[in-house]
Amino acid sequence: MNQSNSDWLAGWYRGQCNGEWEHSYGVSIETTDNPGWSLKIDLRGTPFEDVPFEKRESNIESETDWLVCLTQDKTFQAYGGPSRLSEMIGVFRDWIEDHVSGPIKTPSAT
């Protein structure tokens, strides 16, 4: 069964938690007044903190259908319209999975 992007992100986060990382870093999902979403994922202390990421912007088809993803200050950042949250996580997921040898092992949710 394919894992949803949100379940995958939860597993990736759990995989970073080592008793120290989660006290200083983490994942933040917030709403914006555009309206839309803001996703920020700390990369410090992970194998991905220095991996290049090419900024991605979607064509803005309407005032609420937009997407921007980038890395800055060792943080993956994505911003998008109200229906783009799963896609934002998916961009992060694809980037991570493209830069590892073998599948990412994430603990299964119980």
CA gap 64, 33 in Å, rounded? 11
pLDDT of 1 over the 90 cut: no
User: Looking at residue 62, what is its pLDDT?
Assistant: 75
Cβ atoms of 35 and 83 within 8 Å: the answer is no
CA gap 97, 42 in Å, rounded? 16
pTM check: above 0.85: yes
Segment 26-80, tens digit of pLDDT? 999 999 998 999 999 999 999 999 999 999 998 666 777 899 999 999 999 999 9
DSSP, res 19: S
Segment 5-21, tens digit of pLDDT? 999 999 999 999 999 99
Pairwise pLDDT comparison (22 vs 110), residue with the higher score:
22
DSSP, res 108: P
3-state secondary structure 23-58: HHCCEEEEEECCCEEEEEEECCCCCCCCCCCCCEEC
